[in-house]
Structure 1
Amino acid sequence: MISLRWRVKVWRSAKFVQALHIRGFTQANRNSTISTTLNLHGTNLKETSNIYISLIQQSKSMEEIRNIQTHMINNGFPHLRLGNKLLNAYLKVGCLGYAHQLFDELPQRHVVAWNAMISCYIRQKRSAEAVELYRKMELEGVCPDDFTLSCVLKAFSDVGLVFDGRKAHGKAVVLGLEVSNVFVGSALVDMYAKFGQMRNAHVVADRVVAKDVVLFTALIVGYVQNGQDYEAMQALSQMSKKGVKANEYTFTSILVSCGNLKELCLGKLIHGLIIGGGHESGVSPRTSLLTMYSKCGMVEDSLKVFEHLVNPSLVTWTSLIVGLAQNGKEEIALSKFSEMMRSSVIPNCFTLSGALVACSSLAVLDQGQQIHTIILKLGLHLDKFIGAALIDLYGRCGCVKLARLVFDGLLDCDLVLVNTMMYAYAQNGFEHEALELFQRMKDMGLDPNDVTLVSVLLACDNAGLVDEGRRIFDTFIGSSNIRITKEHYACMVNIYGRAGRLQEAESLISQVHNPDIVLWRTLLSACRIHGDMTMAGRILNKVIELSPKDEGSLVLSSNLYASKGSWSQVIGVKSWMRENRLKKSPAMSWVIIGGEVHTFRAGDCSHPKFKEINYIIMELMKKVKDLGYVPATKFVLQDLDEKEKETSLYYHSEKLAIAFSLWKTSGKTSCIRIYKNLKVCGDCHAWIKFVTTVVGIEIVARDMKRFHHFKDGVCSCKDYW
């Protein structure tokens, strides 16, 4: 029989568990052995307490703690004497329910017990219950300490209890903890930052005597989260002057401000500090680094940062994909999205929205629909961010009905969704539907903003509703909700210009303070459409004053002179462009078939399937001419004879793209979609209408301005574009 004295020594030793294992006291028989091993006869209360304390401290599960507590009760030991030890043991293994039950039984609850319960509730994201416990603590007259306040201040910010937070702040001041205790000070700064009260956060931070990295980081994070990036930079500078060394959380936050402010030099400096401080392997600093480089347009640098990550998190993947899509690297963004999916990382709403933006920019409908399928499988189709991205995708791909299905499927429409749907209608030639949605906004409880006005004016522009556009424009001048910008004036100038009301367009520009080149170029384009050489010359002089090397304006003037047969002036403009090394963007059209992009340039015969394309074009020319098509040689802006002009029209990029699509699909498709970098020319527009009658297939063409839906010899633009 092992003596009690020997057992007490073993239980008190640091190798208690090892000793029990030597004696056959393993996990499997531990619970059953407690009763037979514990022989308390002849021991005093202090020795017995020490034995139980040792057992409690070595317990690993809720069952062990319950068995020890049961043994105490069965043997008449006052178990509440060790209430705090049992309480901490329960909390350590995550048994908050048993802990609270024991906590309620304690006759006298020290502030340490209250702190343990409150902090555990907060760790388990049950801040509301932590607040209730703190209020109960106040009612019982227990004075909080620095740990209590630093915990409960976080609970107040989680729940949004501003008044209670300020009340706790007052208590911290009374106890002298606001100034002297950096933990309480940091918690106050963090709380006020989450409430959006950065002025109060700054005042508290200034008053704390011994500032540390946690306090400064809380202040910087608060500034960043509240969009005060410049103030975050100032806090970092103050931190440096105080000699406080930043940690990876400080760097992670300040990099966000560097990206927002496009402070690339400071961002690179912080990158060096991250490497020097040994924080380079952290996922959060790397994610902030690649986001910063993306926002500063340094895509290659962001990719280099990403390549050094071993197991990128979802946040990192999302930052990379969104950054690539925003910097015109849509193909790489979609490639990385596919790579992420192969890595079994499940995307969230922001990842999917970024991938959809990339699809929209490239107008890749097939891949966008594949992502839509993933969205449905994940049950994210009701998310507003994804809804807006899907509407934009289908709108940019000319699928207005699908865009409307997504819009109608959303439970709660906000202003962004309505604006996106309205813009999809406007650019696809559904002007009346766009205006109807605009009229419904009041019934939906939504106030239009500047984006709304752009969409509405675009709808009026495409429909030729000049007076309606002017009425809407005048309504919002002086409105407190909408700030009229030069973009809105450009819309109105285009509305007047396309309708031939050039004098009114010029008069409107004169009302703008410092009109930019876009406004004058818009009017110059209208002069070309209506052949007003006098005004065009005057406008061209204004454009040259603002920007002598503006390619778009010079090309417009050259085309205007060419349309009037003023070849000497055409030669003069082109000579000027050559001398200044300016080039005209070549007319291009492209189609996406089977995930592959096929690009065509006007007059380009280099395509490997040109023989087949040429055959299709010649066959179509015969059929459409029989239906009444006459080549409009006035759109050939070159000094050629009539026969050469007609032949050159045959090989415009739109015609090449459509002919290739018909050959590639063998006519077994219900719709052909082509995309063009410039406006569709008048001859091609008429030709495509005849082609749809011949082949019985809808053709959707997206040019630089809008969509044209050709079907059965009619275009959605009603020949007004």
Structure 2
Amino acid sequence: MYARCGLLIKAQEVYERLPIKDAVSCNAMIMGYMDHGDVSDALRYLNLMEVEGITPTSITYICSLKAISKTKDELSGIKVHLEATKKGFLERDINLSNAVIDMYAKCAMISEAQKVLETIPCRDVVSYNTIITGYGESEHGEEAIACLQQMQVERIIPDTVTYICCLKACSSSRLIEEGQEVHAEITKKGLLQGDLALGNSLIDIYSKCGKCIEAHYVFETLPERDIVSWNTIIAGYAEFGFSEKGLECYEEMELHGVTPDGVTLATVIKACASIKALEYGQDIHGEILRKNLLKEDPFIGSSLVDMYIKCDELSMAQEVFDRVLIRDTVLWNALLAGYAEHERNHEVLNSFERMQSQGVASDTATLTCILKACCHVGAIDKGHEIHSEICEKGLEDGSLAISNAVVDMYAKCGLLEDAQKVLNKLKAQDVVSWNAIIVGYSQLGDSQMVFSSLNKMMGDGIRPDAVTLTSVLKACCHAALFDRGTAIYDNMLDDYGIVPTTEHQNCIIDLQCRTGHFKAAINMVQKMHCPSSVAWSSILNACNKWGNVELGHQAFDNLLWSDAEMLDVMEAV
């Protein structure tokens, strides 16, 4: 009684005075602590039972497994599983078997959960719902759908929970076709009219997969809607470039008398950010302040910071940041990304030091941002420090993006040997990895290493992209490799499937000018849809080098007309 009422100290006093302690009294204490979120004390009583020689019951193991699921202590979970199996409980109690499946799924041991499922002689709908949920949370949507199909083979009738779990699994894995099949099955059974959670799950999968029309259709057909329905449809529109429609839904929601919560307001702020609707965003900011939601909600704070950054209001972004009392990694990342976006790299590094001093953990997004800032300001020592932290945390193998950022940082700082070492250690490489090293060699004018890297990259089956070829053409410029550069440019479409951009044209014009091929350079400029100031600057510089005064005058005049800013200055003079 005391345990169930939350009077745990009183319950413990009574327990201590018991002359004989048995499984029933221990189970009561375990359940009491579990019901009130005290996982560690719940597990302590499980250990006490073992010490005092009290034989656990099936309920003991079920409660213990629930506690372990929350702590994600897989070793304790395995121990309980083995103990329960040894005593023959799993064969007799389907609820215990389901608890074991849940524990393994929550501990990210989904293959073990599947093995347990397969050993259960009489699986039920809860067994399958549990494993499907596990597959959904680990983003294995196809396996979740396979379980739904297996249920039907075994003539186990799915319930609404099954379908909700399947839709969430499809949503997390972006399996739109499978989700549509589940939707058809739900409609056929007439389940949608009586279950709002099911309807919301359908809106969610269509929204997450960018099917906003289908999401809105489901939304409109719901007999009733709650705050989750509105939040999901608004988020879908904001995510896939229909922010104006998202804001319309928000206004419609208010007309229906539905009170927005923190999630709603953060989502609306995101929509405002994507279309730079500053005034609308400021109105929402005012509502957030009136509801006193900002100080202790870093999610709302990070949304506001991001909006002000997108609207080029950095001072307001910093002001919002300073007002949030609980600052998590996401909030700090929003601020760091904002400063980086506006090329205020010293502020990025200073803010990162503040973040570290306040004991906030950095993630891959944080470290990637800091590495980019180190590139721009040449903070090699800081870059080394971040690289060491990445290695200590074992992030190099888990994130190609962060490894690429390390390669890029070393390459941009001129430490090509270090960049090459990191590149060589990568288990997997992509075009971004190779571009970082090729750009680095190109900036140093090392055309030999540029072509060597290009050959290795293609030898590994990685196709160059537009960035790669820009660096290769620049290397040809630095080394005055006219024939080679011209051949690469002329065959870009045939060899690599890349249509030359203005940047590629500027590179080849620069190469032609550096090697004295003025006629070819002028022909190229005349073929350009809109010749750039860069192209005319290359010709002007070459005229100065080669003493071509007449062409130099022509290039100067065209340079003025191609660069509006320079033309304004000359007119003012």
TM-score by length of 2: 0.76
1:367 aligns with 2:382: yes
Distance in 2 of aligned mates of 1:359 and 1:153: 43
Distance in 2 of aligned mates of 1:232 and 1:36: 57
Q: Which amino acid aligns with 2:541?
A: S
Look up the match of 1:313: 328
1:184 Cα deviation (Å)?
A: 0.8
Distance in 2 of aligned mates of 1:461 and 1:293: 42
Alpha-carbon distance change, 528 to 219 in structure 1, aligned in 2, over 3 angstroms: farther
Larger fraction in helix: 2
Distance in 1 of aligned mates of 2:18 and 2:312: 63
Match of 2:20, SS? helix
Asked if structure 1 preserves the Cα contact closer than 8 Å seen for 2:137 and 2:172, the reply is no
Larger fraction in strand: 1
State the identity %.
Answer: 25
Size of the aligned set, in residue pairs, is 514
Look up the match of 2:313: 298
Give the alignment of 1:6-25 within 5 angstroms. Answer: 21=10
1:448 aligns with 2:464: yes
Alpha-carbon distance change, 401 to 31 in structure 1, aligned in 2, over 3 angstroms: farther
Asked if structure 2 preserves the Cα contact closer than 8 Å seen for 1:322 and 1:355, the reply is no
Give the alignment of 1:97-136 within 5 angstroms. Answer: 102-103=93-94, 117=130, 121=134
Q: Work out which of the residue numbers 284, 288, 303 in structure 1 matches 2:299.
A: 284
Give the alignment of 1:593-672 within 5 angstroms. Answer: none
Distance in 2 of aligned mates of 1:105 and 1:92: 10
Q: Work out which of the residue numbers 236, 241, 263 in structure 1 matches 2:252.
A: 241
Ranges in structure 1 where 5+ consecutive residues have no aligned partner: 1-10, 38-51, 69-73, 555-575, 581-721
Distance in 1 of aligned mates of 2:68 and 2:24: 28
Distance in 1 of aligned mates of 2:227 and 2:467: 42
Asked if structure 2 preserves the Cα contact closer than 8 Å seen for 1:223 and 1:232, the reply is yes
1:119 Cα deviation (Å)?
A: 8.6
Alpha-carbon distance change, 388 to 140 in structure 1, aligned in 2, over 3 angstroms: closer
Distance in 2 of aligned mates of 1:17 and 1:271: 39
Match of 1:442, SS? helix
Look up the match of 2:103: none
Q: Which amino acid aligns with 1:354?
A: C
Look up the match of 1:502: 518
1:426 aligns with 2:442: yes
1:259 Cα deviation (Å)?
A: 3.5
Match of 1:441, SS? helix
1:34 Cα deviation (Å)?
A: 5.8
Distance in 2 of aligned mates of 1:100 and 1:124: 25
Look up the match of 2:419: 403
Q: Which amino acid aligns with 2:195?
A: N
Which segment drifts farther, 417-426 or 59-68?
A: 59-68
Look up the match of 2:195: 181
1:20 Cα deviation (Å)?
A: 11
Which segment drifts farther, 181-190 or 326-335?
A: 181-190
Asked if structure 1 preserves the Cα contact closer than 8 Å seen for 2:244 and 2:271, the reply is yes
Look up the match of 1:32: 20
Q: Report which structure shows greater RCO (CA 8 Å, sep ≥6).
A: 1
Alpha-carbon distance change, 146 to 517 in structure 1, aligned in 2, over 3 angstroms: same
Q: For residues 221-246 of structure 1, what are the alpha-carbon distances to aligned partners after superposition, in whole Å with 9 as ceiling and x for unaligned?
A: 34555xx22x2431331342243444
Match of 2:16, SS? coil
Q: Which amino acid aligns with 2:524?
A: L
1:475 Cα deviation (Å)?
A: 0.8
1:378 aligns with 2:369: no
Q: Which amino acid aligns with 2:14?
A: T
Distance in 2 of aligned mates of 1:188 and 1:466: 59
Q: Which amino acid aligns with 1:325?
A: A
Asked if structure 1 preserves the Cα contact closer than 8 Å seen for 2:8 and 2:32, the reply is no
Q: Which amino acid aligns with 1:235?
A: G
Distance in 1 of aligned mates of 2:487 and 2:4: 87
Alpha-carbon distance change, 440 to 311 in structure 1, aligned in 2, over 3 angstroms: same
Asked if structure 2 preserves the Cα contact closer than 8 Å seen for 1:360 and 1:393, the reply is yes
Q: Which amino acid aligns with 1:28?
A: E
Look up the match of 1:668: none
TM-score by length of 1: 0.62
Distance in 1 of aligned mates of 2:139 and 2:527: 59
Alpha-carbon distance change, 495 to 273 in structure 1, aligned in 2, over 3 angstroms: farther
Distance in 2 of aligned mates of 1:372 and 1:35: 53
Q: Work out which of the residue numbers 216, 221, 245 in structure 2 matches 1:207.
A: 221
Alpha-carbon distance change, 499 to 259 in structure 1, aligned in 2, over 3 angstroms: farther
Alpha-carbon distance change, 59 to 296 in structure 1, aligned in 2, over 3 angstroms: closer
Q: Which amino acid aligns with 2:283?
A: L
Give the alignment of 1:667-706 within 5 angstroms. Answer: none
Alpha-carbon distance change, 289 to 177 in structure 1, aligned in 2, over 3 angstroms: same
Larger gyration radius, structure 1 or structure 2: 1
Look up the match of 2:108: none
TM superposition outliers: structure 1 runs of 4+ over 6 Å: 13-20, 54-57, 62-68, 85-88, 98-101, 105-111, 126-133
Distance in 1 of aligned mates of 2:474 and 2:233: 44
Distance in 1 of aligned mates of 2:396 and 2:389: 9
Look up the match of 2:360: 345
Alpha-carbon distance change, 420 to 18 in structure 1, aligned in 2, over 3 angstroms: closer
Asked if structure 1 preserves the Cα contact closer than 8 Å seen for 2:174 and 2:205, the reply is no
Distance in 2 of aligned mates of 1:123 and 1:35: 35
Match of 1:448, SS? coil
Q: For residues 569-621 of structure 1, what are the alpha-carbon distances to aligned partners after superposition, in whole Å with 9 as ceiling and x for unaligned?
A: xxxxxxx58x55xxxxxxxxxxxxxxxxxxxxxxxxxxxxxxxxxxxxxxxxx
Distance in 2 of aligned mates of 1:20 and 1:486: 75
Q: For residues 502-530 of structure 1, what are the alpha-carbon distances to aligned partners after superposition, in whole Å with 9 as ceiling and x for unaligned?
A: 22212101111122333323333333333
Distance in 2 of aligned mates of 1:410 and 1:480: 25
